[in-house]
Each structure stands twice: as structure tokens, then as C-alpha cells.
Structure 1
């Protein structure tokens, strides 16, 4: 049986959208995309604040899976207005993600599931020492 993980703030998304915030697949843990949408549905208007919320929420979900940012091996980010906000995103990302950096792809898109969100972060982690 596969194990799933969820930070407390994410449980309503899990229940409403029927998804696993993080799914353990043995040596690897796969995370659903996380945005800066808060539990009450609000989104910070300031891009840096919104990105900081997203990374903080990701950190809480990593912690629920007994992982940290140092366990991230791949990160894919989806951006509304990629070129407009990339510098702010990188600034905030670097507050959380330290060397050695994971593989990273940043993809520009037209919209995300929650209105007003500017980025979604999806990661894959590898447990240290294997499964």
C-alpha cells in the first residue's frame, strides 16, 4: 500500500480535489504542485510574498514526509507571467533551496487552478540512504 503525506494546511485541498499532496514510492516521494494559495483561499498580491508562501507550504509538506529541501532532486515550476516574475521567484527560491541544487525546469503557462496564483512548484524527492 502506498503511503501519502499532507501538511495540515493542505488537507482541505486533498479532500476537495482528491489528490495526494505527497505520495511515497519507496526510494522516491512525488509531490503534487503547490501554489501560494492559503488555506482560506486567499493569495498574496505581492509576487515575492506569494512565492514565499508557496515555498513555506512546500516545506511543511516536505516535513510531513520527513524530508527537507535538501532531499529535492527535481523541481518543475509553472509560471503565469514567467518573464515578469522570474527574478522575484529565483530570489525567494534561493532562500529555501541550497546547493547542491536540484534539476529545475521553469515553464511559462497561461493560468493555474487557483485564480491569482502566479507559480506552482512540483518536486520529486529521494530519500537519503534509499527507501
Structure 2
């Protein structure tokens, strides 16, 4: 077994500056680092939970695809929220669009802050490549 670092195109600066990979893959297991709602074009957080959650899930999908997997292969998510009670319903609506069935295990955690003051949510995941196909 050999560990593979997964850093899709466009994430190299994060790897170089902050010294972490977007994901690590060992065989079919993939651990994805926290994904946030930052617009890749502007580098700024999107406005509101809906937009941030969508960008975070889009980032998660991109990292998983670079690791040879997809959203259907996600077996666990951990989400971090700066307003867990106030925005959880909106987050769930978006989550269910990206993970519409065969729901992964999920832990939601309320936090006082994330990496940028405007961030509302961060999503990390564990996936098993090929587990989402029937």
C-alpha cells in the first residue's frame, strides 16, 4: 500500500503555502481535507450558506474525481458550521442535492470560527473508491 497525495489543478498554491494536500488516497480509501465556499475565480467566500455549501460540495467533487472517485463514494462527512442551529436546514437542502441517497454517516459541529471570517461552513469527507456503484 502506498499513499497518494491528491491535489487537483489549481490547488498547488495551497499545497505549497499551507503544506497540506486536498486529499490522501491509500488503495481505495480517500480522506478529503476540509472544503470551503470560496469562489475559485475570485478567491473570496461566496455570500450566504446556499452559495458557500454549493462551492464546498463542488470542491469536494473535484478532489474526489482527481482521486478516481465521486460523490456517490462518500461514506462519511464532517461539517463545521459557524451558525449550526441557524443555518442547518439550508445546508441540509444543498447537501441532499449533492448526496441524494445512500446517505453517508454525518457529524455536524458548531464552531466559533473558520479560516476566513466570512466562511460559514467547511466540509471534510472520507470516501471508498467504487463503493457508490451498484
TM-score (norm 1): 0.91
SS state at 2:10 partner:
helix
2:54/2:94 contact within 8 Å kept:
yes
How many residues are treated as equivalent by the alignment?
129
Deviation of 1:76 (Å): 0.5
SS state at 2:127 partner:
strand
Structure 2 gap ranges (5+): none
TM-score (norm 2): 0.89
Q: Match for residue 61 of structure 2?
A: 59
Cα distance in 2 for partners of 1:27, 1:59 equals 16
1:37/1:114 contact within 8 Å kept:
no
Q: Match for residue 92 of structure 2?
A: 90
Q: Match for residue 124 of structure 2?
A: 122
1:77/1:105 contact within 8 Å kept:
yes
Of 101, 104, 122, 1:102 maps to: 104
1:75/1:102 contact within 8 Å kept:
yes
Q: Give 4+ residue runs of structure 1 displaced > 6 Å after superposition.
A: none
